[in-house]
């Protein structure tokens, strides 16, 4: 249970579904309730698939390019820290790769569940690098099953959050969402710093010995 909570909390903090609510509301304001539910469902499914692929296949991508796990953690740590600062500064669009051009294109397309919602807005470089690093730490089958369950739980939260986005937006208001996102942003920065510091320590120890 502790491992499940740890992985769920780490993924939830990096993905931050609450930060995606204002963007989802803006992109689906002219859609029906049924259409919003459909988009929410497929966004969650797409995110889950992307996370699963990143977790199990990411290591082979690293091996192909000859990238060490510590190098990945440092690079991913910087990305995660940058995402955290974006949340603190309320730069949801810039921090999540959804600029005006992408938003305008999304408005014209019928299905936005894969892009820009699932990727890069939710399952972005931060969560992908985080999962690749986690796979190296959890090699046991039981641990990997727990990790998959945590990913499924995050996808479920994304579905419920997106489905209730218009209600939550009206209930919390812009200031409420910003306040919660800033708290999450601080946690995200801490996660990124932890990844960078632990990787530097590993590299220094390997040089000494």
DSSP per residue over 123-149, as a string?
A: S-HHHHHHHHHHHHH--SHHHHHHHHH
Averaged pLDDT, 66-84 = 83
| pLDDT bracket for residue 19 (50, 70, 90) | confident
Averaged pLDDT, 147-160 = 96
> What is the sign, positive or negative, of the torsion defined by CA atoms of 147, 45, 26, 126?
positive
Q: What is the pTM of this model?
A: 0.77
Other CB atoms within a 10 A radius of the CB of residue 66 amount to: 7
pLDDT at 142: 95
pLDDT over 90 (residue 145): yes
Q: Tens digit of pLDDT for each residue in 166-200?
A: 888 778 776 777 777 788 778 878 888 988 898 89
* Between 180 and 49, the higher pLDDT residue: 49
Burial letters 15-42, b for 16+ CB under 10 A, else e: bbbbbbbbbbbebbeeeeeeebeebbbb
Q: What CA–CA distance (Å, rounded) separates 86 from 51?
A: 22
Q: Tens digit of pLDDT for each residue in 116-130?
A: 888 878 888 888 888
pLDDT at 42: 95
Q: Tens digit of pLDDT for each residue in 83-117?
A: 778 777 755 444 455 555 555 554 444 468 887 88
- CB 92, CB 86: distance < 8 Å: yes
């Amino acid at each position: 249970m502790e491992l499940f909570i740890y992985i769920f909390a780490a993924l939830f903090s990096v993905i931050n579904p609450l930060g995606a609510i204002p963007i989802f509301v803006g992109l689906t304001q002219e859609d029906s309730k049924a259409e919003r539910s459909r988009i929410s469902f497929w966004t969650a499914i797409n995110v889950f698939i992307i996370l699963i692929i990143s977790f199990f296949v990411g290591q082979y991508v690293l091996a192909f390019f000859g990238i060490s796990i510590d190098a990945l953690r440092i690079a991913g740590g910087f990305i995660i820290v940058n995402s955290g600062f974006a949340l603190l500064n309320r730069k949801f669009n810039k921090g999540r790769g959804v600029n005006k051009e992408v938003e305008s294109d999304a408005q014209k397309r019928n299905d936005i569940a894969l892009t820009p919602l699932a990727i890069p807005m939710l399952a972005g470089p931060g969560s992908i690098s985080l999962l690749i690093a986690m796979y190296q730490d959890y090699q046991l089958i039981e641990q990997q099953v727990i990790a998959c369950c945590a990913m499924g739980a995050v996808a479920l939260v994304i579905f419920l959050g997106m489905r209730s986005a218009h209600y939550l937006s009206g209930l919390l208001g812009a200031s409420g969402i910003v306040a919660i996102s800033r708290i999450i942003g601080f946690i995200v920065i801490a996660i990124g710093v932890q990844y960078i510091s632990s990787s530097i320590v590993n590299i220094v120890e390997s040089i000494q010995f």
